Amino acid sequence: MKYILNPLNNPNMNIREFYVKNYPSDDMGKGINPKATFDGLAKTLSNCHCVYEYLYVYDSIIRERLFEKLASIKGCEYEVIYQRWLSPIKKPL
């Protein structure tokens, strides 16, 4: 899938910077992996690796918010990202 060239939907966007900016009242955002990107999150999902380990944060609300943003970047529905997360089969997003 090709990415839409939009600075707000940049797959290389730093996840922690995005999260802290958009959810400033959630202090757990400061604990997100400082090197994590949405492209890296997509690859983590595609390779059936643990999303929480990639993010360094084990919180379902943060995961849901980041899946919503990843869906926006990928131009798909949240459910596509969520089902990819649940699937035990390696498959690119």
Residue 88 pLDDT level (bands cut at 50, 70, 90): confident
Does pLDDT of 93 surpass 80?
A: no
Report the pLDDT value the prediction gives residue 13, as an integer from 0 to 100. 87
Stated pTM of the model: 0.87
Report the pLDDT value the prediction gives residue 1, as an integer from 0 to 100. 44
Report the pLDDT value the prediction gives residue 2, as an integer from 0 to 100. 45
- Is the separation of the CB atoms in 17 and 30 below 8 Å? no
**Cα–Cα separations (whole angstroms), residue 81 to 22, 27, 30, 75, 89:** 20, 25, 23, 11, 13
Tens digit of each residue's pLDDT (9 = 90 or more) over 18-66:
999 999 999 999 999 999 999 999 999 999 899 999 999 999 999 999 9
Does pLDDT of 9 surpass 80?
A: no
